[in-house]
C-alpha cells in the first residue's frame, strides 16, 4: 500500500515537472500553456497520448522523437526525475499518515506541491532566459494569498505577520508599475523581491534568510568558476558583463528548495 502511494506521489511530481519544462519553453515565447497539445519543437508533430508520459516515454522512445528521431535533451528526463523526487521527499518528510489520511495535512501538501511548481518555473525560466516572468510571480502571489487564508483560518496563524507580507507585495507591485515604468529600468530586481516574499510566506523567515545567504554564496562560487574559465580562454569580459548574465532567481529557488527539504528532513530523521 505504502509503495503504491509513494509511486503515485512520485509520478505526480514528475507530471508537474513535465508541465514545468513545457511552460519554461512556452511562457517566454508567449505561447498558450494549457490548451495547445505538446509538440516536438524540431518537427512540430503533435505528441500522442503515449508520448507524453514523463520518464517512461523518454525511456521507451530511447530519448528520441517518435516522428523525426531527433534526440531529446536528457535535461528533460533529469528535471522530471528531480521534480518527482522532491515531491516524494516532501510527502515523506511531512509525515502524512497513510492509514488515517488527514484532510488538513493533504491540503498543506497540496499547497507545497504548488509552491514547488512555482519554484521550478521561476528557476528554469530564469536559467534559460535570465528573467523572472511576471505571470509566474502573479501565480506565486495568488497561491501565497490562498495559503495565508488557510493558515489564518485552519492553523489560527497570526494574521498581522502575514499582513506585513501582503504590504510588501503591494509595495513591490506599485514600485514595479509606477517607478520602473517611468524610468524604464530593469525589472529583474522586482521579480527577485516578489520571489523572496513568496518564499518567506511558505518556508518561514529563517529559511528565507538562509536562502539569501546560500544564494550569495553559490553566486560567488559560480562567478569564481566563470572567471577562471574566462582566464583560461583569455576572454576579456568585465565583472559587470559576467554578473548581468547570472541567473540569480535560479540560484535563489534551488537554495530555497534544498534548505526546505533539509529542514523538513532534519525534523523527520530527528537530526
Ligand atoms: Zn520530432
pLDDT for 150 equals 94
pLDDT digits (tens, 9 = 90+) for 132-157: 998 999 999 999 999 999 999 998 88
Lowest mean pLDDT of 93-97, 119-123, 128-132, 249-253, name the range.
Answer: 93-97
Q: How far is the CA of 72 from the centre of ligand 1 (A)?
A: 9
pLDDT digits (tens, 9 = 90+) for 166-204: 999 999 988 888 776 666 566 888 899 999 999 999 998
Across 240-267, b (16+ Cβ under 10 Å) vs e yields eeeeeebbbbbbbbbbbbebbbebbeee
Asked whether residue 100 carries a pLDDT value surpassing 90, the answer given is no
Q: How far is the CA of 39 from the centre of ligand 1 (A)?
A: 8
Tell me which of 118 and 48 has the higher pLDDT: 118
Which residue do the cell numbers 499582513 mark?
163
pLDDT digits (tens, 9 = 90+) for 66-89: 888 888 888 888 999 999 999 999
Q: How far is the CA of 58 from the centre of ligand 1 (A)?
A: 13
Q: How far is the CA of 128 from the centre of ligand 1 (A)?
A: 21
Mean per-residue pLDDT of the chain:
88
Report the distance separating Cα 212 and Cα 199, nearest Å. 11
Amino acid at each position: 500500500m505504502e509503495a503504491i502511494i509513494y509511486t503515485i506521489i512520485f509520478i505526480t511530481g514528475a507530471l508537474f515537472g513535465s508541465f514545468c519544462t513545457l511552460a519554461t519553453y512556452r511562457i517566454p515565447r508567449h505561447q498558450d500553456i494549457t490548451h495547445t497539445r505538446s509538440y516536438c519543437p524540431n518537427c512540430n508533430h503533435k505528441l500522442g497520448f503515449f508520448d507524453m508520459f514523463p520518464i517512461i516515454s523518454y525511456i521507451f522512445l530511447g530519448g528520441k522523437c517518435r516522428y523525426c528521431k531527433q534526440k531529446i535533451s536528457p535535461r528533460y528526463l533529469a528535471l522530471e526525475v528531480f521534480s518527482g523526487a522532491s515531491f516524494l521527499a516532501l510527502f515523506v518528510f511531512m509525515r502524512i499518515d497513510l492509514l488515517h489520511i488527514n484532510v488538513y495535512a493533504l491540503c498543506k501538501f497540496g499547497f507545497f506541491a504548488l509552491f514547488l511548481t512555482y519554484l521550478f518555473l521561476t528557476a528554469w525560466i530564469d536559467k534559460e532566459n535570465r528573467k523572472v516572468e511576471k505571470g509566474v510571480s502573479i501565480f506565486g502571489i495568488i497561491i501565497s494569498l490562498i495559503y495565508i487564508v488557510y493558515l489564518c483560518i485552519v492553523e489560527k496563524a497570526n494574521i498581522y505577520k502575514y499582513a506585513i507580507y501582503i504590504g510588501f507585495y503591494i509595495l513591490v507591485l506599485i514600485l514595479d508599475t509606477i517607478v520602473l515604468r517611468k524610468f524604464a529600468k530593469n525589472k529583474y530586481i522586482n521579480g527577485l523581491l516578489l520571489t523572496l516574499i513568496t518564499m518567506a510566506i511558505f518556508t518561514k523567515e529563517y529559511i528565507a534568510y538562509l536562502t539569501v545567504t546560500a544564494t550569495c554564496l553559490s553566486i560567488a562560487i559560480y562567478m569564481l568558476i566563470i572567471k577562471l574559465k574566462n582566464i583560461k580562454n583569455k576572454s576579456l569580459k568585465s565583472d559587470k558583463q559576467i554578473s548581468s548574465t547570472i541567473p540569480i532567481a535560479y540560484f535563489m529557488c534551488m537554495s530555497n528548495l534544498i534548505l526546505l527539504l533539509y529542514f523538513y528532513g532534519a525534523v523527520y530523521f530527528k537530526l
